[in-house]
């Protein structure tokens, strides 16, 4: 198969990941509504996914080097921090805010890649980052009697977006010469172990306080589909596409998350959601478009590669 075909297949696989992750916002909300704590949800989904993945690829894992496990473990640490801040943040805000703010990680990826590779992002990236932040402001900032207010949940989700950008950039660089199944196993098990240890130390009572009749199925969905399947697909796909391109495609999870939320009646379609979401998505899409300056100084925008 030609390299272009591998890239196309990888990109289409990441679109599928975005759809499943979009539905994952709903699954997370249902688990939270069932009185599931953040650490309990993370421990269950990651341990479930890591153990199953370990069983499936046990022969490859046994033959791999400690260095590959180590690099995968670093990805797992970033993964845990991203999920923890996102899940806590989502419990303090609405699904559409969490979905769209998470999507802004796409404009952060080039900056993170810059740190790793010393390659400076183009000017358009700075411009579109500002547009994305403007969209976040419309989505997240409200005016009340106290003035301008930025919700704590929105701030935590924004922090998670930085961590997601770091995860995408790091994974895109490290997975090129390594077995994606081993990298996926190492990162999921690392995130699972950290979540489980913190759960047992900080909030063991949450294990019995959750309503499993309502929260178990959503967590199974998160574990089998949003975690095991999607992170295996993502890790494999990033061998054949760039981190920035992977970021823009997977940022569509915000769009799908909000669509699913409105369709299920969990929230209303508001003017702020439309305007703010449009600005965020515009920055997300245009960050991968090619901008060329003609002789008359008119900027021409071409399609995404």
Tell me what the mean pLDDT of segment 281-285 comes to: 77
pLDDT digits (tens, 9 = 90+) for 236-275: 998 888 787 787 778 777 778 777 878 888 777 778 778 8
Residue 290: the pLDDT is: 60
- pLDDT greater than 60 at residue 146: no
Domain assignment of residue 183, given as a range: 3-304
pLDDT band at 276 (very low <50, low <70, confident <90, very high): confident
Tell me what the mean pLDDT of segment 110-138 comes to: 78
- pLDDT greater than 80 at residue 226: yes
Residue 303: the pLDDT is: 44
% residues pLDDT > 90 (the chain): 34
| Overall number of domains in the chain | 1
Looking at per-residue pLDDT, the higher value among 65 and 3 belongs to 65
DSSP the chain: --HHHHHHHHHHHHHHHHHHHHHHHHHHHHHHHTT--HHHHHHHHHHHHHHHHHHHTHHHHHHS-HHHHHHHHHHHHHHHHHHHHHHHHHHTS-HHHHHHHHHTHHHHHHHHHHHHH--PPPHHHHHHHHHHHHHHHHHHEEEETTEEEE-HHHHHHHHHHHHHHHHHHHHHHHSTTS-HHHHHHHHHHHHHHHHHHHHHHH-TTHHHHS-HHHHHHHHHHIIIIIIIIHHHHHHHHTTSS-HHHHHHHHTHHHHHHHHHHHHTTSS---HHHHHHHHHHHHHHHHTTEEEEE-TTS-EEEEEE-
- pLDDT greater than 50 at residue 192: yes
Whole-model pTM: value is: 0.77
pLDDT band at 1 (very low <50, low <70, confident <90, very high): low
Tell me what the mean pLDDT of segment 164-171 comes to: 89
Residue 87: the pLDDT is: 82
């Amino acid at each position: 198969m030609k390299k272009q075909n591998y890239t196309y297949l990888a990109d289409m696989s990441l679109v599928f990941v975005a759809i499943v992750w979009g539905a994952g916002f709903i699954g997370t909300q249902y688990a939270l509504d069932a009185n599931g704590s953040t650490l309990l949800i993370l421990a269950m989904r990651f341990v479930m996914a890591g153990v199953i993945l370990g069983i499936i690829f046990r022969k490859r894992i046994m033959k791999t080097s400690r260095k590959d496990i180590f690099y995968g473990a670093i990805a797992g640490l970033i993964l845990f921090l991203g999920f923890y801040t996102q899940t806590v943040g989502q419990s303090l805000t609405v699904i559409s805010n969490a979905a769209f703010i998470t999507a802004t990680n796409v404009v952060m990826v080039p900056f993170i890649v810059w740190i790793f590779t010393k390659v400076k992002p183009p000017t358009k990236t700075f411009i579109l980052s500002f547009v994305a932040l403007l969209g976040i402001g419309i989505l997240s900032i409200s005016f009340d009697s106290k003035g301008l207010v930025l919700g704590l949940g929105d701030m935590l989700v924004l922090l998670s977006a930085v961590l997601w950008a770091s995860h995408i950039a790091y994974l895109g660089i490290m997975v090129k010469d390594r077995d994606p199944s081993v990298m996926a196993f190492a990162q999921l098990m690392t995130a699972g172990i950290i979540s489980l240890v913190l759960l047992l130390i900080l909030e063991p009572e949450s294990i019995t306080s959750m309503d499993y009749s309502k929260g178990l199925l959503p967590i199974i969905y998160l574990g089998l589909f949003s975690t095991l399947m999607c992170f295996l697909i993502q890790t494999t796909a990033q061998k054949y596409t760039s981190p920035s391109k992977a970021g823009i495609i997977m940022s569509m999870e915000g769009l799908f998350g909000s669509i699913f939320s409105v369709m299920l009646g969990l929230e209303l379609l508001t003017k702020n959601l439309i305007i703010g979401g449009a600005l965020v998505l515009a920055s997300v899409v245009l960050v991968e478009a090619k901008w060329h300056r003609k002789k008359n100084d008119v900027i021409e925008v071409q399609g995404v590669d």
